Structure 1
Amino acid sequence: MGPTSTPMRSRDVYCFETSSVSPINGAGWRPTVAPRRAAAALPMFNLQRHRALLADGHAKYQPAPPPEGRRCILYQQFIEQILADKHPGGYCSFMNCVFVGETLLGFRSIMYYQCEMCHKITKLETDGPNREMNINMSMVNGTVEGGITYAAVRTLAAAINMPAPTKKTYAHYEDKLADIMEAAAMDEMLEVGKRAKAHAIAVGNVKDGIPWVTCILDGQWSKRVYKCKYDATSGSVTVIEEHTGKVIWQATKNKRCSVCEYAARKSIPVRPHKCGKNYKGPSTGMEAALAVEAFRSSMEMHGVMILKYIGDGDSSVGARLQAASPYGAKYVIQKVECKNHVLRNFKRALIDISTSALPCPEGVTQLEMKTLKKAVRENVLRMSTGVSKACEYRGETEKDLGHHERVRNLRKDIMNTACHVFGEHSTCALYFCKTRQAAEAAAATPAGAPAGHGDAPPHLCAHTGAGRKLSEATAEVANSVIAQRASNKRPYLGGRRSYQTRVYSAGLSLNTSAQGLRVVHRSIANSSPGKYTEKYVQARKAERNEKRLRLAKRKLDLIRGAVRPAPRPAATGPDEHYGLQEEGNQPPPADDPVRLQEEADKFLQSLLDNLQAEQEELKDVEQGSIEWRTARKNRLTAVDFGEVCKRRPDTSCRRFVFDKLYRAKTDYAGQKPDPKQIQHGKTYEPAAKARLATKGYKIQNCSFFIDTEMPYLGASPDGLLDNSAVLEIKCPFTAYESKSKDEAMQSGQIKYLRRDEDGNIKLRKDDNYYYQVQGQLHITKRDRCVFVVYAKEWEHIEEIERDDEFWNNEMRDKLERFYKEALLPEIVMPLYQYRLEKKDIREARSVIEELARREKDREEKAQRAAEREGEKRKKKEEKDAERKRKEEAAERRREVAERKRGSGKEKASGRKEGKASREEKRRWRKRFGPAAQERQEYSFSCCIPCIDTSRRVPLLLSGTSLRVCA
C-alpha cells in the first residue's frame, strides 16, 4: 500500500496538482493538502486530469500517504467493489494498487487507488449506491431522533478518530430532512383526521352537518424559562385528538433566520434558501397565534371543527380563540381546564394555607392553629386524591344521571373534601365515605377549618362544568418527546429549521408509536430499513410494551391491596434555597352587499325555523353552561337592552359588537365590573334567594327565554315566581356593607334607586336595569317583576309592572334596527377575524348616516362661519383701505405744507445770504479794489477769521504780499 508518510489529518483531503518543475526533469505529481469542501462540491481529486497526464507519458508520481483514522463502510458493498476490480492484461490486480487520493463528503468517503503496472485508477466508495438515504442523511436523522446536535456528532467523531462532516454539510442534510419530516408528519396527521372524523360522525358529534371533535392543545418553546425572560425564538403547538390520542395538527413559529441575519449584518444579498422565519410578534403570543391557525385550518385539512379543547390555565389561547372566532360568530369554542392543572393549583392553594399567617378564630390558641396548619400540610395529597377520585366517579360511573346533576354532585363532594379529611363525615356521600362511624374516632382539631380554606374549593368548583376526567396528559407526553428531540431545550436550535424538524419528528413518533426511523427511511429510500435499524425499532417497541405491562400490573396490585405505595414526604413547597419559583395578516375583503343581505335573511329564517326546537333544548339547560352561552352569543339579551336603547345616534357600534361576539360578556347591564363584582354577585345570589324564601316567595330556577316575535332577542331572569312574575336580583359590591338604603343612595354607592314624589324608593326608569326588567317581562310574557337589591344589613324588594307602551315607544324599534345593522352583519360575514382589529368591524348604517349628516352639518356650519368670517374680513379690509387712504392723503397734505414752509425759509435765508455777500464784496473791493491796486506795495499782518476761506477769492493783489497768522 505504499510507505508510511506524515499522518494525514482527519479533516484534510489529499489531491494532486502539477508541479512547477517540468516532468522531464524528474519532478512529477506530489500530494498536497487542500481544504475539504462541502458535500455538494465536486471531488477534490481530479481524476480526468490525472488520466490525461498519464496518456501523455507523465506517469511519474509519489504515492500519497495512507488515509489516517477510521471510516464507516457498507461492508458488503465495499468488498464487492474490490472483488470487481479487473485490470487489462490480467497480469496485475488490486494488490498492485497504491493509494493516491481521497474525497471526504461528511461520513461518506471516496478513495482512489492506482495500479503501479497498468496505471488504472480504481474508485472505492464507502457508502452504498443510494444517494438519498446515504450515511450523512442517516446520521442527521439519528441526531434528530436521539435528541443530539452537530456538536455531539463532531465530538463523537473526534473521540473515535474519524473525519466529521462540516457544519455546512450537516445543515444541508438537515434542511433536506426537514422537508421529508414535514411531508411524512402531514401524511400521518391526515390519516388521524380521517379516523377522528369518522368517530365524530359515529357518535353523533355533528353540528349543522359538520362533525366536530374534542382536542388537547398545548404549546412548547425552544428555550426553558423560569417565570422570567419569555424570549424564545421558536415555539410550537401540538393539537392531539382526544379519542385517537394522536397528533392531528402541528406547526412552529420562528422569529429568526441565521442566513438572513448574516446577510443583513454583512450588507450582502441573501443567498437562495428556505427561510424559517414566519413570525414577528412577541414570544408569549406564539401559542395563541398557532392555536388560531390550527382551528382555522381544521376544516380545510380534516373537514371537522374543534368546538371543545382541553388546555391549561396559564395562556391567553382561550381569549384569542374567542376573539378570532375561526368558525364564525355562530359557534362557541368551549375550553375545559386540564384536571391535572386544576388539581395542581388546588394543592398549591392548600400549601399556601398551611404556610401563610392566617388569623386565629375566636377561642383558638396559636398552638392549635399551628397544629391545624401541620395537619393541612400532611393531608394535601389525600385531599387532592379525593377530588380526583370524585371526578372519576361522577364523570364515568353516574352516566345514567344528567350532566348538570353530576356537576352539582361533584361540587358537593369537592366542598366536602376538608370535612371528610378532618373527621366530619355527616355530609359525605356513601361512595366517598362508607364508614361514617369513623367520625367519632377521628381526632378533630379544635381550630376547625382554617380561615383561608374556603377560597380553594370554590375556585376548584368553577371548573367542574366538564363533568369528565379530562387532562392534558397526552399533550405533556408530546412536550416531553419534543424536549427530548431538542436536547432538553439546552442548545440554541432556532436559527434555521432545526427546531421545526425536531417538532415534526416528535409528532411523527407519537403518531407512529415511536417508529419514526422506519417511516422516514421508507419516505426517502422507498424500502424497509436495514437489519440493525429494524432490530432497534423492535427492541424499543418491546421495551415500551414491557413498561406498559409493568405499570398496569402495579396499578392492579394497588387496587387489590397486594402492595402498598411507598410513603411520600409531605409537600412543603419551595424553601429559602429555591431561587426562581414558579397575534402577516391580510386586510378583510371588500363587502358584497347582495351576498350580505342574502346571508342575513338566511340566518334570521333559520332562527325562526329552529325556534321551537331550541326552546325545548334550553328548557332544562343550566345558566352558565356552554349551551346557555351558545344561545346567548348571537342574540341581544335583556342585559344589553339599556345600553343599546340609550346610545346616541352617532355612537360607534364597534365596541359593543366586539364585546358581544369576541369578549366575555358580563352579567351586569351596561356596566363593565371587575372580577370582584362578578364573583360577589354569584356568591351572594343564593343567599338573597334564601332570604326571599323566608318571606314566602317560591322561586323556580329557569334557563334562557327567546322572544317568539323577534327570535334574536333573549333573556335569562334569575328565577320565576308563580306563573306571572320573574325575579331579578342585584347584589351591589360597593353597598354590601352599608347600613341602610338611604346611606347607600346618599353616598353614591347605589345610583339606580331614588325616592319618588310620595317618598317611596323606586328603580329609576332611565336606568339600564329598568330596560333589562321590561325586556325580561316582554320576552317571558309575564306581567310583573320582583326586583331585589340584596345587602348584608338590608334588602330592597320592588314589584315592577310590565309597560307595553314603554317597550313599543322606547325599545322595540331601536333593538331591531341595532341588531340588523350592527350585530347581524358581523355574525353572518365576520370581518374581525382577518386581522383581529376592532376597526375592521362594520359600522351600522344608521350610525354612518348620522355621522354623515353631522359631518354635512358641520361642513355647512363651517362654510357659513367661513362666509361670515369672509364678510368680516372684507369689511375690515375695506375699513383698513379707507383708513390707509385717509392717512396717505393726510401725509400728502403735511408734505405740501412742509414744502411751503421750507420754500419761505429758503427765500428768507437767501435774502440774508445775498445781503451778507454784498457787504463782503464791498469790503473786498474797498480793500483790494482798483483804488488799492494803485499802490505799489500793500502789506498787513493780522488775523482774518471773518473771511470765508471756503469761497474762492480772486487774487486781486498783484505785486503785493499777504501774511496770514497761523
Structure 2
Amino acid sequence: MEANYRRGAKTRLRLSIRRKKSNNIYKYNAARAVGLPCSTKNILPTSRTTEKESILPNVEIIANITESSPESPEIEKRKTVENNDFPNEEEIFSATEPSLAPIVKGNKRNSTSAVSIDGLRVVDLQKFIESLKTLSTHSTLFGCSLVNLQVVKELKVGYQTKLTFKCDMCGFSKSIHTCPESPQSVDVNTSAVTAVMNVGGGYTQLVNITGAMNIPSLSFSLYKKIHSEICTAWEDLAWKSMKEAAEEEKMIALQCGSVDVNGTPMITVVGDGSWAKRSYRGTGNYNSLSGTAAIVGLKSKKILYLGVKNKYCCVCQRAKNIGTEAAAHTCYKNWNLSSTAMEANIIAEGFCASLEMYGLIYNKLIADGDSSCYKKLLDSRPYETCTVEKIECSNHLLRNYCNKLKELSKMRGIPGSLKNILSNNILRCRTAVVKAIKYRRSEANTSLEDNIKNLRKDIINSVSHIFGEHLNCSELRYFCEKTEPDQNNYMSDFRTLNLDEKLMDAVRYLAGHSRSLLENVTTNVVEQFNSIIAQKLGGKRVNYTQRRCYQGRCYCIAPERQYKKWKCVN
C-alpha cells in the first residue's frame, strides 16, 4: 500500500491486494490488514469453478481523497483486473478520520452531514457575531476557520434557535444561540408574546405575522405558558407601582396640609370603570362577562387602585356543560351579580382598602354621572372621620346637556324651522356655559358660595340670551346690556309649543351642578386608562374573558403609566 498523507491537497492511495474466493464473496483481506475496512458486494456467478480458477488475479485500487470535505471525503476507487468475469467498476466510500489515517467505510454516509435550514430567524446580531468570532478561532493546529464549520443540528424553542456547529477538519463541535439570554434583556419569546398582547392581539395574530415573514412560530402550549408568566409579572409589578404612586400622593397631601383630625393625609381621586364588551348608547346591552375600574390620584395622575371582576371561567363552564367536576385549576371567576354593578363595587372596595393599604383617605371623588357608584360609597361608609364628597366631571355634564338639546331638536310636532334653530345653537349653548364658568372662576374677591349662586343664574339665563329674550342680561351685567327682547325672540315660539319647559329642565339640571362645574375637573385621566384597555383588547372585538387574559391586560396599564417606558417595565 502506498499512501500520501498531505493536508491541503488530494490524498492518493494505491493498494495492490490479492482477491480470494470464500463462500462466493470476495473480500479485501489486505486492505483490512492495514486498517482500511473495505468491502464489496460482488458475488460470483453460480457456475462451477476449478481449484485453479479459485485463485483470482490481482486488483489494483486507486483511491483519491478530496480536500473539499476532509471529514467525510469522497473516495473514487478504480479496479483493474485481468479476468473478464470482473468488469471495471467504481464505488464511493467514506472515511471517518481522514486527517489522521485513511480509514474507509464502505457505502455509508457520515452522520455529521449539514442540516438544511429553511426560513428566517430572529437574531441578536451583536451577540451572534461575537459567538461566530469565537468559533472562527477554535483551532490553530489545522488552520480551521468558519469555512470548515457546518450546521449539523438546529433546535428551535419558539423564536429562540440553538445551532450546533461542527468542524470538518478537526471535529470541533459547539452550540450557539441566535438570541442568547442575559440578565439585561428579556427572552425573545417573552418579548414576542408581550408585544402581541400590547397591541391587542393573541396567538393567532402572532402566528400570522411571523408566518408571513417566513419565521417559524412558537407552539400554543409555549404561548400559554409564557402568557401566564407575563400576566403574573404584570400583576406583581402593577401593585408595586400603585404603592409607589400612593406614596407620592401622600407626600403631596402632607406638603399641602390636607389632613383630617387624626393627621391622616386626604387626597382627591378620579374613578371610572370599563367593560370588556362594548355597550352602545340606547341598546341596553349591558351583559359583559368582565369589567374593571380604576382609582387614579388627581395630583400624580397615577393609578392607586385597580380591580377586575369576572363572571365566567371557561374551565368551570365546560365541566358544567358535560355534567362533570372541573379539574384542579386556578379559577378567576369572582363575580355573580350584574355587569352594571361591577364598577360601583370595585370603586367601593378601593375606598375601603385605602387606609389599610396606603394610610390615605380619599375624601373627594371625581366621577361621571353614575349615581349608583356614589350611593355604594355612602352605604359602605369607608371612613369614620369624613364623608366622601363627589365632584361631577364637567365634560360629562356638558356632553349630557348637549345630548338633551339634540333630543329636543328631534322631537315630533315641532316645525322644521324651530328644529334647525335649536340644533344650530347647541354648540353656542355649551360655549355660553363654559364662558360663564371661566368668568366666575376669575372672580377673586367673591366667596365660593356666591360664585356658585351667580354661576347658577348665568346658566339659567344663557338660553334666554342665545334665543333673543335677554330676560336677566342687564342684571348679570357681563352677558350683555340689552333689556328688551330681540326682534327674533324664539323663546316665545318655544312657549307656544310647550318646548320651553323641556328646554329649561335640561338647563336647570346643569345649573344644579354649579359647584362641580366651578371645580372644572374631568375624568380624562381615567378615560385614558379605559382607552388603553380598549386598545389592548383589540378594540373590544375579541373575547378575552375566557380566563385570565382580560385581567392580565388590564393590570399591565398601571406600570405602563407609572414607568412610561416598556424597557423599564421589562
Scaled to the shorter chain, the TM-score interval is 0.7 to 0.9
2:522 & 2:179 partners in 1: Cα distance?
Answer: 48
**Letter of the 1:520 counterpart:** V
1:377 alignment partner in structure 2: 423
Any residues of structure 2 matched to 1:43-122 within 5 Å, and which? 60-61=110-111, 63=113, 65-85=115-135, 86-87=138-139, 89-90=141-142, 92-122=144-174
Q: Is the 8 A contact 2:293 2:346 kept in 1?
A: yes
Once the two structures are TM-superposed, the CA of residue 134 in structure 1 deviates from its matched residue by 1.1
Q: Please report the RMSD computed on the Cα atoms of aligned residues, expressed in angstroms.
A: 3.0
2:548 to 481, 486, 497: 497
Match of 2:489 in 1: 444
Whether 1:128 and 2:180 are equivalent positions in the alignment is yes
Structure number with the higher strand fraction is 2
**Aligned residue among 246, 264, 268 for 1:214:** 268
Displacement, 1:171?
Answer: 2.2
Residue 308 of structure 1 aligns to a residue whose secondary structure is strand
2:123 touches 2:179 (CA, 8 Å); kept in 1? yes
Q: Which residue pairs with 1:412 in the alignment?
A: 457
SS of corresponding position for 2:539: helix
Task: Identify the residue that residue 448 of structure 2 maps to in structure 1.
Answer: 403
1:84 alignment partner, SS class: helix
Partner of 2:286 in structure 1?
A: 230
Deviations 1:890-930 (A, max 9, x none): xxxxxxxxxxxxxxxxxxxxxxxxxxxxxxxxxxxxxxxxx
Residue 94 of structure 1: CA displacement? Answer: 4.2
1:636-715 equivalent positions in 2, closer than 5 A: none
Other-structure match for 1:588: none
| Deviation, structure 1 residue 283 | 2.2
State the Cα deviation string for residues 153-198 of structure 1 (Å, max 9, x = none).
Answer: 1111011111111222222222222232223333332232122222
For residues 271 and 439 of structure 1, do their structure 2 counterparts lie closer, same or farther at Cα, with a shift above 3 Å needed? same
Q: Distance in 2 between matches of 1:256 and 1:79?
A: 49
Q: Indicate the larger mover: 477-486 or 194-203.
A: 194-203
Tell me the distance in 1 between the aligned counterparts of 2:197 and 2:475: 53
Q: Distance in 2 between matches of 1:180 and 1:25?
A: 63
Cα distance in structure 2, aligned partners of 1:64 and 1:25: 26
Structure 1 residues 140-539: aligned runs within 5 Å: 140-209=193-262, 210-226=264-280, 227-258=283-314, 270=327, 274-314=330-370, 316-328=372-384, 331-357=386-412, 370-394=416-440, 396-428=441-473, 433-437=478-482, 443-445=488-490, 446-449=492-495, 450-451=499-500, 452-466=502-516, 467-512=518-563, 514-515=564-565, 517-521=566-570
Superposed CA offset, 1:557-595 (max 9, x none): xxxxxxxxxxxxxxxxxxxxxxxxxxxxxxxxxxxxxxx
Q: 1:315 to 1:254 in 2, by over 3 A?
A: farther
Preserved contact between residue 184 and residue 508 of structure 1 (Cα < 8 Å): yes
Q: Which amino acid aligns with 2:244?
A: E
* Alpha-carbon offset, residue 73 of structure 1: 0.6
* 1:438–1:246 CA distance, 2 compared to 1 (3 A): farther
User: Hey, what's the Cα distance between the residues in 2 that align with 1:508 and 1:430?
Assistant: 53
Given that residues 69 and 163 in structure 1 are in contact (C-alpha distance below 8 angstroms), is that contact kept between their aligned partners in structure 2?
yes
| Cα distance change on mapping 1:168 and 1:419 into 2, 3 Å | same
TM-score by length of 2: 0.72
Matches within 5 A, 1:503-652: 503-512=554-563, 514-515=564-565, 517-521=566-570
C-alpha spacing 1:134/1:98, structure 2 compared with 1 (3 Å)? same
What's the CA shift for 1:82?
2.1
2:159 and 2:216 in contact (8 A); partners too: yes
Deviation, 1:200, is 2.3
The one-letter amino acid paired with 1:289 is: N
- The 3 A distance-change label for structure 1 pair 258 and 62 is farther
Gap change, CA 1:230 and 1:137, over 3 Å in 2: same
* Structure 1 residues 491 and 370: alpha-carbon distance in aligned structure 2, compared to 1, 3 A threshold: closer
SS of 2:153 mapped into structure 1: strand
Q: Distance in 1 between matches of 2:118 and 2:140?
A: 30
Change (3 A) 1:431 1:98: farther
Shift of 1:433: 4.4
* Paired position in structure 2 for 1:847: none
Instruction: Output the CA distance in 2 between the equivalents of 1:180 and 1:98.
Output: 40
The one-character-per-residue Cα deviations of 1:127-165 (angstroms, maximum 9, x if unpaired) are 123277111112222223333332221111011111111
* Structure 1 residue 91: Cα displacement: 5.1
CA offsets per residue over residues 464-494 of structure 1, 9 Å max, x none? 2333212212221221122112221111222
> CA, structure 1 residues 126+380, in 2 after alignment: closer, same or farther (shift >3 Å)?
same
How far apart, CA to CA, are the structure 2 residues paired with 1:184 and 1:409? 48
| Residues 259 and 106 (structure 1), Cα distance of their counterparts in 2 relative to 1, 3 Å cut | farther
- Cα distance in 1 for partners of 2:479, 2:312 equals 60
**Distance in structure 1 (CA, Å) of the matches to 2:376 and 2:39:** 82
Distance 1:139 1:151, change over 3 A: same
Secondary structure in structure 2 of the residue aligned to 1:185: helix
Question: Which residue identity does 1:90 align to in structure 2?
Answer: F
* Counterpart contact for 1:222–1:233, Cα < 8 Å: yes
CA spacing shift, 1:177–1:349, aligned 2, 3 Å:
same
Per-residue CA shift, 1:771-809, capped at 9, x if unaligned?
Answer: xxxxxxxxxxxxxxxxxxxxxxxxxxxxxxxxxxxxxxx
Q: Matched residues, percent identical?
A: 29
Instruction: Report deviation, 1:430.
Output: 8.0
Distance 2:149 2:481 in 1: 94
The one-letter amino acid of 2:277's match is K
- The aligned amino acid for 2:453 is R
Q: CA deviation at 1:99?
A: 2.8
1:75 Cα deviation after fit: 0.9
Tell me if structure 1 keeps the 8 A contact 2:469–2:486: no
Distance 2:439 2:524 in 1: 19
| Matches of 2:461 and 2:39, distance apart in 1 | 104
Partner AA of 1:478 in structure 2: F
Aligned AA for 2:337? G
Q: Please identify the structure whose Cα radius of gyration is greater.
A: 1
Separation in structure 2 between the aligned mates of residue 498 and residue 399 of structure 1, nearest angstrom: 51
* One-letter amino acid matched to 2:435: K
After superposition, the Cα gap between the structure-2 partners of 1:253 and 1:65, relative to the gap in structure 1 and judged at 3 Å, is: same
Q: Shift in Å at residue 251 of structure 1? A: 2.4
Q: CA deviation at 1:504?
A: 2.4
Which structure 2 segments of 5+ residues have no match? 1-37, 41-104
Residues 326 and 67 (structure 1), Cα distance of their counterparts in 2 relative to 1, 3 Å cut = same
Distance 2:404 2:479 in 1: 28
CA distance in 1, matches of 2:342, 2:465: 44
Separation in 2, partners of 1:402, 1:95: 87
CA 1:485–1:431: 2 relative to 1, 3 Å? farther
Distance 1:285 1:118 in 2: 73
8 A Cα contact 1:426 1:436, kept in partner: no
The amino acid across from 1:287 in the alignment is E
> Superposition pairs for residues 746-825 of structure 1, below 5 Å?
none
2:270 partner letter: I
> Partners in 2 of 1:462 and 1:136 — Cα distance?
56
Distance 2:474 2:525 in 1: 31
